[in-house]
Amino acid sequence: MKKASVVILNWNGKRLLEEFLPSIIKYTNSAIANIVVADNASTDSSLAFIRQHYPSLSIIELSENYGYADGYNQALAQINTQYSILLNSDVEVTENWLEPLLDFLETNENVAVVQPKILAQRDKAYFEYAGAAGGFIDKYGYPFCRGRIFDSVEKDINQYDQPIDIFWASGACLVIRTDIFKLTGGLDSAFFAHMEEIDLCWRLNSRGLKVACIPQSVVYHVGGATLTEESPKKTFLNFRNNLLMLYKNLEENEFKHIYKIRFILDYLAALQMIAKGKFKNAKATHQAHMEFNKMKKNFSKARKENLEKQTTQNIASIFPKSILWQFFLKGHKTFSSLVWKINN
């Protein structure tokens, strides 16, 4: 039996499959990994294209568009290999991309998830926005990366080539032990898309398991292939899901304190959007808070169970300060400029 399954979630992505499947097939060692396309009920000719040009690939046909989160839940329920690789359809892999990731998991039993170094497919000299060399969050739940803080993306000059414990691995290319994915409940299907991998990694971190970036593996990610950076829907999902994630993983008093601050900061962000003429994005930010307050009652049971299973409250990979303050007021535009014990 092969060790791993590379699972590519597809929804009406024939163009992306045409462009990126060749590198995946060329550089994925068939002796250790299967390549599986999980299709979210596409209505284009994606499946016909695969069957015609790549008849040896495995296909999981899902009955509807489950989104990113539940699409992978549905697909991985049918995967039995030791490791599962969640790989976006807009990722170009490189030679020997998979072996360093699996080798690290094989020799580090307390590590549940790893990701490669993710560079921008459109400009390969720079890190990719949604992943870079590993993800983190600050004390208020704002995500950032080693190689990207807010809209400041660094050039890759090998400054982050050491493996490091991170808080979250990018869903663009995330390698996880299949049994742990299933035991911890997988991705939260209520998120639909965005932030679900951070929520999953938070659950893993809080149970004493580790997440790591292994820069000896390199892939290139297009990013924004489904929802563009300026999409109001993306703004809505990011703000709403971030609040849901905080609610699920923080105890009540801490959450109430952070939510008061986030309410102010998020509406300040909405005012900034209005100033830039992004009225629909500003509205989406408000709608995200409204939707969160409607939805949170549905998470009470899951939240209680989640908090009961936590084994650690002090996670070293959570930045203990405000990344907003560090970035906008102190001028720290790069990850390496942050004063933080995790860098030692």
Q: Enumerate the domain spans of the chain.
A: 4-221, 232-313
Token pair 């969050």 in the structure block, residue? 137
pLDDT averaged over the chain? Answer: 94
110-159 residue pLDDT tens: 999 999 999 999 999 999 999 999 999 999 999 999 999 999 999 999 99
**pLDDT 10s digits, 72-81:** 999 999 999 9
Give the C-alpha separation, 188 to 197, whole Å. 9
Tell whether the model's pLDDT for residue 258 goes beyond 90.
yes
Q: Count CA atoms closer than 13 A to 212's CA, side-chain side.
A: 23
Of the candidates 61, 62, 48, the residue with the CA atom closest to the CA atom of residue 17: 48
**pLDDT value at 227 more than 60:** no
The whole-angstrom separation of Cα 231 and Cα 279 is 11
Look at residue 221 and tell me whether its pLDDT is greater than 80.
yes
At residue 343, the pLDDT reads 56
How crowded is the C-beta side of 298, counted as CA atoms within 13 Å?
A: 10
Given this model, what pLDDT does residue 344 score?
Answer: 42
Domain 4-221 homologous superfamily, CATH: Spore Coat Polysaccharide Biosynthesis Protein SpsA; Chain A (3.90.550.10)
Q: Identify the band that residue 229 occupies on the pLDDT scale cut at 50, 70 and 90.
A: low
Specify the pLDDT at position 224. 54
Instruction: Report the percent of the chain where pLDDT is more than 90.
Output: 92
